[in-house]
Amino acid sequence: MGSKAVEDLIEASSGVHYSGFHLQGPSDTDIEQPTTSMSGNVPKQPFVIGVAGGAASGKTTVCDLIIEQLHDQRVVLVNQDSFYHNLTPEELTKVQEYNFDHPDAFDTEQLLYIMDKLKHGEAVDIPKYDFKSYKNVATRRVNPSDVIILEGILIFHDPRVRDLMNMKIFVDIDADVRLARRIKRDKDEKCRDIAMILDQYSKFVKPAFDDFILPTKKYADIIIPRGGDNHVAIDLIVQHIRSKLGQHDLCKIYSNLYVIPSTFQIRGMHTLIRDSQTTKHDFVFYADRLIRLVVEHGLGHLPFTEKQIITPTESVYTGVDFCKRLCGVSVIRSGESMENALRACCKGIKIGKILIHREGDNGQHLIYEKLPHDIAERQVLLLDPILGTGNSAVQAISLLIKKGVPESNILFLNLISAPQGVHVVCERFPRIKIVTSEIEIGLNGDFRVIPGMGEFGDRYFGTDDD
């Protein structure tokens, strides 16, 4: 491939950054099995937001404001109130004694069923609960969306429901404000007198809040005081949601997985190094450029300390001091291709080596390691350009941990990652960080990354058959 063709490819390259799809909640057996599926019918993972808080705290207002600001996204609101149990004839005769604020008042199994359908890209019929007849009288059709907002007083109570959420918000309002709002609402909408409202509040609402709702506040990622009046908090939440919507689905599952932001340059370089017709010279040149970007991005995840210095103008500048105790560890031999980029970014860095023998991807055997003697006291950058099945990575990381390196001190840098490998590594080692430049579709029957870039070591070092 000539230099003119290379330039044309970089200028013309475009399209979405990620070539991968999301694998829904794999089991251990799912992780170990490769996939040959190339289907584009797998649904995009929605971003699920839970909004909890006491009755009349302003949850609905917060949801409405979020939906309004996400006007260019597909958003669906699911209310926990839609999943009250239908009251039996016996319960209807004593409806004043029925506690609608207790967890048992809700059909959580139906809620989980509906949410599972929505998360798998299926349209659902959500019941409409009538508070006059105390039963479901109709349904509303809801289509799968980019964002699902799940709102209700007790949506944080059941851990199965909590586990569905990517973001949990608790709307926090003073009890007297909630009571005042409840009195006005029940008088206007339900034609209740004040005595009845206060009796229900003291008998059911307040005890349920203290016993079941307030304790779930600890599960919230974000607590919003003043509810819908807190526009600053809502703006920040919307910004965070927008950033998450631009991420790969795996980044929504694993907070320790980082994919470097895509540009046409990055996409163009991937096009070149993946092309089977690209010459060795061009492959090495553009692979080195991509590796340098991954290394630079990875270094940004290392700890730092604040530092003040005096500039040549005798001014004080407050900056940061780089992490001093670093070392690289390359997985021989492909990982050695990343050493030069690391040395260029970190002057005088020590680099260790690990050699793992692969037997048909069914087993991995460590046959050589040479690591700094004080590696347990260092931040470790593990280098391997391809994360496929994850078996080699598990062997390497396990060795580092055995040598005394804290799991949280390991930063795994690679160019491309298969979803299967990400699942294996992140579930086995949830405190390490993975930095990559693209997520792949998956693995084929030969455990090769698809679409991939071939045998990276052979192409980089010029030892392929051709």
- Cα torsion through 229, 233, 239, 245, rounded to 10: -90
Q: Which of 143, 95, 96, 137 is nearest to 117 (CA)?
A: 143
Handedness of CA 225, 229, 235, 238 (dihedral sign): positive
Same domain flag for 238 and 258: no
What is the chain's length?
Answer: 466
Distances (CA, A) of 357 to 184, 362, 365, 441: 72, 11, 5, 25
Beta strands in 346-431 (DSSP E): 350-359, 363-370, 379-383, 386-387, 410-413, 416-417
Instruction: Please give the pLDDT value at position 315.
Output: 93
Same domain flag for 220 and 257: no
Same domain flag for 182 and 307: no
Instruction: Please give the pLDDT value at position 287.
Output: 95
The span from the CA of 179 to the CA of 170, in Å, is 18
Instruction: Please give the pLDDT value at position 35.
Output: 39
Same domain flag for 224 and 268: no
Task: Establish if 205 belongs to a structural domain.
Answer: yes
Instruction: Please give the pLDDT value at position 8.
Output: 53
Tell me whether the omega of the peptide bond preceding residue 451 falls within 30 degrees of 0, making it cis.
Answer: yes
Structure token digits, residue 16: 């979405």
Domain that holds residue 401: 250-461
Task: Establish if 192 belongs to a structural domain.
Answer: yes
Same domain flag for 254 and 236: no
Q: How many other C-beta atoms are found inside a 10 Å radius of the C-beta of residue 3?
A: 10
Task: Establish if 25 belongs to a structural domain.
Answer: no
The span from the CA of 370 to the CA of 330, in Å, is 10
Q: Which of 330, 336, 331 is nearest to 284 (CA)?
A: 336
Largest Cα–Cα separation, the chain: 88
Task: Establish if 36 belongs to a structural domain.
Answer: no
* DSSP designation for 175: H
State residue 292 phi and psi, 5-degree precision.
-60, -40
pTM of the model: 0.57
Assign residue 94 the CATH number of its domain. 3.40.50.300
Q: Which segments in the chain show pLDDT lower than 50?
A: 6-7, 9-42, 361
Q: What one-character-per-residue DSSP string does 8-23 give?
A: HHHHH--S-S----PP
Structure token digits, residue 170: 């608790």
Among 230, 245, 260, the domain-final residue is 245
Structure token digits, residue 106: 């809700």
Count structural domains, the chain. 2
Task: Establish if 3 belongs to a structural domain.
Answer: no
Same domain flag for 148 and 275: no
Same domain flag for 310 and 344: yes
* DSSP designation for 211: I
Determine contact, residues 323/379, Cβ cutoff 8 Å.
yes
Task: Establish if 298 belongs to a structural domain.
Answer: yes
Q: Which of 253, 174, 217, 286 is nearest to 423 (CA)?
A: 253
Task: Establish if 40 belongs to a structural domain.
Answer: no
